Amino acid sequence: MSSIPHLTRRSLLSLTGLGAASLLASCSTSRPLPPGVRLDGPVVPAAPSGRTPELDAMYGEVYDGGIVIPAVPYWRIPERFYRQQVIDPTGEAPGTVVVDTPNRFLYLVERGGTAMRYGVGIGRDGFSWGGAGVIQWRQKWPKWTPPDEMIARQPELEIYSVRNGGKPGGIDNPLGARALYIFQNGEDTLYRLHGSPEWNSIGKAVSSGCVRLMNQDIIDLYERVPNKAKIVVRQ
């Protein structure tokens, strides 16, 4: 897929930042300090390249339901995977969720020809799912109950089985801060859109079939997705 033009405020913010930087430069002095005079205090490291106040707010620490979600070092993630509004490339109706598996993007189609785009991690080869369905159920800080097929591959997960009550929601829960449950023909596919603290997995194929987003992004998506939204997962 070709790159999609951005429709965000980031360009405007960049221009504003340049103007502010020029103003600050005009107020500074380059004269050396007098002999014997020095400035004491901690050394403040330079901000990582690509870091902005807007993105700091977008991916900063979040307090949600009594749980602290750590900030994401987003500057260590390719910029194309940041949450952003783009021209809709999907052709689907507004309110539809589209997962572009090859390019690791999730789109929520909006009215007016735009879409919110999020970077995602997808299932490993052999565990991915594709097709059309409905987001039948939504949950904040969901309980995790691995399916029997996963437990067969990883017997140590038996303690979190349905029989044992599952794993309670929390920051170390594999489903993260939110989960959107995908149904097809009225039946649970067992595939989810969900949060994850593993920000470095975004853009990669690492999960057991589910589509994962950064916790900050799944919270944003959760608030935007309409009830019973159509979802299309394109392989």
Indicate if the pLDDT at residue 233 is higher than 50: yes
Nearest to 62 by CA among 185, 192, 222: 222
Give the model's pLDDT for residue 26: 32
Indicate if the pLDDT at residue 191 is higher than 60: yes
CA neighbours closer than 13 Å in the CB half-sphere of residue 153: 6
Give the model's pLDDT for residue 161: 79
Give the model's pLDDT for residue 206: 78
Enumerate domains of the chain plus CATH numbers.
51-234 (2.40.440.10)
- Rounded to two decimals, the pTM is 0.76
pLDDT band at 172 (very low <50, low <70, confident <90, very high): confident
Give the model's pLDDT for residue 127: 59
Q: What percent of the chain has pLDDT over 90?
A: 51
Maximum distance among all alpha carbons in the chain? Answer: 80
